[in-house]
């Protein structure tokens, strides 16, 4: 939900890049709650990533936001969502199948969103919206969540989330090629810093 809100107020590329700092929220959680001391390289990468977010959000001018506060807000909430989506299932998949964890997670999230937004526009159920909606549902949600949750059975949460590095790269390239989005030098520098940090 937060990711799509960030896209609504900005674009897919910026929303994806902001969401991509989720691994650093995992690092903060493991450091503060689990009392696992971060390695020096993790601290350095965290600093680099947040410098990237700063450059992306301000274009280097501390007195001006280059992206709207709504994009920043929803993008950072989306990053927290990535962290929780990685940390919470980790313990569950040792007891239950990744398919059951993914299915129940998506069902509960769907019911929760229906409670928050009970009025669904009839236009989303129009015939021309069915195929794009199914693509988002199956290709963009069910398959990636299932694969990611399955991967958590074999690798650490931080590793799984960092292997997700290709998402912001593909979102940026897709936004430039498909949607003719313009990237400024500061956007490129901030994005590269975030991606390199992970």
Question: Would you say residue 157 has pLDDT above 80?
Answer: no
Give the per-residue pLDDT at 169. 66
The pLDDT value recorded for residue 6 is 93
Position 131 in a domain: no
Amino acid 78: pLDDT: 94
pLDDT in tens, 107-147: 999 899 888 887 776 666 788 888 888 888 898 888 888 88
* Confidence at residue 5, expressed as pLDDT on a 0 to 100 scale: 93
Residue 189 domain flag: yes
* Residue numbers of the domain that contains 51: 2-93+152-197
For residue 181, name the pLDDT band (cuts at 50, 70, 90).
confident
Within-domain flag for 170: yes
CB neighbours (10 Å) of residue 138? 11
Distance CA 170, CA 139 (A): 15
Task: Count CA within 13 A, CB hemisphere, residue 24.
Answer: 28
**Residue 14 lies inside a defined structural domain of this protein:** yes
Q: Is residue 102 part of a domain?
A: no
Higher pLDDT, 24 or 171: 24
As a whole number, the mean pLDDT across the chain is 83
What integer pLDDT is reported at residue 168 of this predicted model?
A: 66
Q: Is residue 129 part of a domain?
A: no
Structural contact between residues 16 and 191, judged by C-beta atoms closer than 8 angstroms: no
At 134, is the secondary structure helix, strand, or coil?
A: helix
Give which of 138, 139, 6, 154 is closest to 77, Cα–Cα.
Answer: 6
pLDDT of residue 122: 63
41-97 pLDDT tens trace:
888 888 888 888 888 778 878 787 788 899 999 999 999 998 998 888 888 888 999
Distances (CA, A) of 196 to 48, 49, 80, 169, 171: 8, 8, 19, 11, 16
In a domain, 113, yes or no: no
Q: Please tell me what DSSP assigns to residue 34.
A: S
Grade residue 11 by pLDDT with cuts at 50, 70 and 90.
Answer: confident
C-alpha to C-alpha distances, 192 to 42, 48, 50, 56, 147, nearest whole angstrom: 17, 10, 12, 10, 26
The per-residue pLDDT for 9 is 93
Question: Is there a domain that residue 161 lies in?
Answer: yes
- pLDDT at residue 164 above 70? no
Q: Number of folded domains in the chain?
A: 1
């Amino acid at each position: 939900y937060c990711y799509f809100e960030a896209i609504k107020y900005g674009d897919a590329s910026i929303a994806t890049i902001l969401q991509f700092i989720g691994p650093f929220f995992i690092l903060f959680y493991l450091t503060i709650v689990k009392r696992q001391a971060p390695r020096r390289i993790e601290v350095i990468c965290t600093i680099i990533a947040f410098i990237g977010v700063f450059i992306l959000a301000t274009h280097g001018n501390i007195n001006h936001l280059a992206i709207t506060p709504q994009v920043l807000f929803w993008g950072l909430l989306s990053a927290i969502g990535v962290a929780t989506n990685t940390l919470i299932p980790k313990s569950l998949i040792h007891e239950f199948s990744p398919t059951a964890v993914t299915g129940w997670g998506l069902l509960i999230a769907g019911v929760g969103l229906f409670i928050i937004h009970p009025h669904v526009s009839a236009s989303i159920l129009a015939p021309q919206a069915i195929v794009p909606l199914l693509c988002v549902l199956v290709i963009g949600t069910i398959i990636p969540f299932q694969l990611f949750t399955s991967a958590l059975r074999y690798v650490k949460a931080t590793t799984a989330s960092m292997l997700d590095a290709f998402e912001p790269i593909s979102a940026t390239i897709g936004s430039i090629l498909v949607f003719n989005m313009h990237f400024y030098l500061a956007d490129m520098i901030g994005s590269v810093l975030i991606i390199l940090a992970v």
